[in-house]
Amino acid sequence: MVPDNSNSGFYLRGRHEIQILGDFAKGATGLGGNGAIYNFKSPDKFVSKPGGEWQTAEATIIGNKITVVLNGVKIHDNVECNKPTGGELDNKVGESGPILLQGDHGTVWFRNIYIKELK
């Protein structure tokens, strides 16, 4: 859950940030909009919920391809991302790494976090 105007994110492998942004009121889009692969690719659709409502995100990274489903809508489909997107741990994008939760500008809440290794 992210209030209007709050800014956060989560990182896949510690190198690719999926943006979390309270942008419903502004209808923000672009490389920093909610669900964007930060500084790399805008979401295909604007599907943010109003501040104060829980949102859902499912992110999958296989090799160098990222898929994201935000609030039940696929907003990235096998996007090839061969570089870190900013704020990364290092530039070793082909290696495994941690999932990081970011707190940046304002409040954000996380709950029901599940991690599944794909084979």
Amino acid at 9: G
pLDDT at residue 30, as a whole number: 83
pTM, two decimals, is 0.94
List the chain domain ranges: 7-104
10-residue mean pLDDT series, the chain (119 residues)? 94 97 87 94 96 96 97 98 95 94 88 90
Q: Which of 79, 38, 73, 81 is nearest to 57 (CA)?
A: 73
**CATH assignment of 7-104, among 3.30.360.10, 2.60.120.560, 3.40.50.1370, 2.160.20.10:** 2.60.120.560
